[in-house]
Amino acid sequence: MYYCIVNPSARSGKGKEIWDKLESKFKEKNLEYKAAMTNGPGHATTLAKKLCTEINDEKKLPIKLIVMGGDGTLNEAINGITDFDKFLLGYIPIGSSNDFARDLSYPKNVDDLIDTILEGKEVRRLDLGKLSYNSMTDPLSRLHEDKVATTRLFDVSSGIGFDAAVCEEALSSGTKNFFNKIGLGKLTYGTIALKQLLGAEKIPCDIVFEDGTSQHFDHFIFIAAMVHHYEGGGFKFAPDADLTDGLFDICAAGDIPKGKMLPALPFAFFGKHYWIKGIYHYLVPKVTIKTEKPVWVHTDGEVSVKSDNITYECLKERLIMMC
């Protein structure tokens, strides 16, 4: 049995079209399946949690779950899984950024990807990140779940500061919808990034490592905990990331003038940004970030609340993939 969580509105409505292809494959191969369409923020999490509670029979394990949508839909589904050892996950990327799939050499042809997933075999295991909010603020993002959890998993990256502010605006941006409709969804993040960078506040920040040492910035721009190489629609913030080593590649930008950060963005797109003074790299399994003022935090591009104290922990090879 295959269980499917489908975001029909992904890529401005093209999700339904690709779902029809997958459904025809199920019928062609005489495979049993159940599908559910998401209807708003947080629904994919609810659907995945329901699977966890309903399927307890060892004979029905592993649970083969296929997620169709963008990075946000995948993130929501992962946050509904309570025991990853019981799940085999397939992913069909139909979002505007698709940073999760970018690293994984997926077939360009959707039919080929579907065929690989429907073999129902374990293909790889990948790290997951865990974000813990040590504090939260009342302001909620423009698109948020009904209830904000104090911990959240992520499979691509999580960031605090500038990159999260970009994601928060993009989530409800008419610009994103426009670019998606003309097939240029990746331009959304670049356009909003310029606006957010120019308007960013100067906020002090401390990165506290497991051994008790710390890095202080009088004003930081962003800090991203990277599991994969890319975030934000293709910015290669972690060019040397290992998806299975149990370590984050932390990309931090601080005490750098906005005028110098602006030309750094094109270098970051190609993973050539670490030579720039004020951009730092750390390889860590766990880290805490404290800011003087609450700022937006994202997980795989999903933004719910602001925080001034968060902890990241890398969970080694927790995600079992069929693709």
pLDDT of the residue at 179: 43
Distance CA 75, CA 100 (A): 10
Alpha helices in the chain (DSSP H): 10-13, 15-28, 43-54, 71-78, 99-102, 110-117, 162-171, 174-181, 187-199, 258-269
User: Helix, strand or coil for residue 246?
Assistant: coil
Of 93-97, 118-122, 229-233, 311-315, the one with minimum mean pLDDT is: 93-97
pLDDT band for 98, please (50, 70, 90 cuts): confident
> Binning pLDDT at 50, 70 and 90, where does residue 144 land?
low
Spatial separation of the C-alpha atoms in residues 21 and 130, rounded to whole Å: 34
Inter-axis angle of helices 187-199 and 162-171, nearest 10: 130
Does 177 or 16 have the greater pLDDT score? 16
Rounded distance between C-alpha atoms, residue 297 and residue 150, angstroms: 12
For residues 127-136, average pLDDT: 96
Q: Helices marked H in 172-216 — which ranges?
A: 174-181, 187-199
Across 209-216, average pLDDT: 95
Top-confidence range, 219-223, 245-249, 275-279:
245-249
User: According to the model, what pLDDT value does residue 161 have?
Assistant: 92
Q: Which of these ranges, 96-110, 265-279, 285-299, has the smallest mean pLDDT?
A: 96-110
Q: What is the pLDDT of residues 169-191, one digit of tens each?
A: 776 655 545 444 434 455 555 66
* Cβ atoms within 10 Å, residue 116: 16
Where do the CATH 3.40.50.10330 domains begin and end in the chain?
Answer: 2-127
| pLDDT score for 127 | 98
CA-CA distance, 44 to 101, in Å (whole number)? 18
What pLDDT is recorded for position 138? 74
* Strands of 102-247, DSSP E: 124-133, 151-154, 157-161, 203-209, 214-226
Q: Which two tokens stand for residue 270?
A: 């190609």
Q: Which residue in 217, 310, 209, 293 sits closest to 255, CA to CA?
A: 217
Beta-strand relationship, 63-69 and 87-93: parallel
CA dihedral 92→98→104→105, nearest 10 degrees, is 80
pLDDT tens digits, 252-270: 999 988 777 777 888 998 9
Mean pLDDT score, 191-220: 86
Using the 8-state DSSP alphabet, how is residue 287 labeled? E
Beta bridge partners, 192, equal: none
CB 237 within 8 A of CB 231: yes
CATH 2.60.200.40 in the chain: give the residue spans.
129-318
Backbone angles phi, psi at 265, to 5 degrees: -60, -45
**pLDDT > 70 fraction of the chain, expressed in percent and rounded:** 88
Could you tell me the fold of the domain covering 2-127? Rossmann fold (3.40.50)
Q: Quick check: bond before 139 cis, omega within 30?
A: no
Tokens of 64: 């083969």
Average of pLDDT values for 85-114?
89
Tokens of 82: 């309570």
Kindly compute the dihedral angle of the four CA atoms of residues 30, 122, 152, 76, in this order, to the nearest 10 degrees.
Answer: -20
Q: Are 189 and 70 in contact (CB under 8 A)?
A: no
φ/ψ of residue 280, rounded to 5: -120, 155
Fold of the CATH domain 129-318: Tumour Suppressor Smad4 (2.60.200)
Distance CA 83, CA 61 (A): 11
